Structure 1
């Protein structure tokens, strides 16, 4: 679930297409639970959303900037704004509902 273009992170989150960022670490069990959930979400939403994963340990500056205090932390961006942020595992149906609700309000 990597970005499909050469856009930088800051360019992607400023775009029209919503971006769901998954801050994770390799050793985190709940983070591993998010992988199939995010794949299911991407399959359902297709090009309506971009999903990117950021290793919080390898990118501490980004983690600090967005106040990631635990992993997994999901942050939904659109047009450079944070629309939603939550730590912990979120099931696919709930995630879909949250995302569609937030992006329809923008």
Structure 2
């Protein structure tokens, strides 16, 4: 958990994709998240977290559905949504936080 605290404390927006490998919506988001990361470059961090491998964290954050996307800035959650989104929508949301 302390590593998570380090990840989200960045002064730039940190987009986190909580996913599982067995969920179709989660796996269909992989290329979308890749595109988002490429488009944002060093303006934001993009991190993927497998909820099956990080169950304690997923429970602490009350992740009930995957994919769940969150944006943190300076350690504070500023946005959260479950379900699929297109790359342009995600990019626009992250850029609001830059």
| TM-score (ref. length: structure 1) | 0.85
* Cross-structure match for 1:3: none
Distance in 2 of aligned mates of 1:86 and 1:96: 14
1:83 is paired with a residue whose SS is: strand
Residue 37 (1) aligns with residue 35 (2): no
Residue 96 (1) aligns with residue 97 (2): no
Report the Cα offset of residue 97 of structure 1. Answer: 1.2
Structure 1 runs, 4 residues or longer, greater than 4 Å off: none
* Cross-structure match for 1:56: 51
Structure 2: where are the runs of 5+ without partners?
none
Residue 68 (1) aligns with residue 60 (2): no
Distance in 2 of aligned mates of 1:67 and 1:21: 14
Distance in 1 of aligned mates of 2:80 and 2:16: 9
Distance in 2 of aligned mates of 1:70 and 1:39: 20
Structure 1: where are the runs of 5+ without partners?
1-7
Residue 22 (1) aligns with residue 22 (2): no
Q: CA RMSD in A?
A: 1.4
Distance in 2 of aligned mates of 1:22 and 1:34: 9
Distance in 2 of aligned mates of 1:16 and 1:52: 15
| TM-score (ref. length: structure 2) | 0.92
Distance in 2 of aligned mates of 1:42 and 1:24: 16
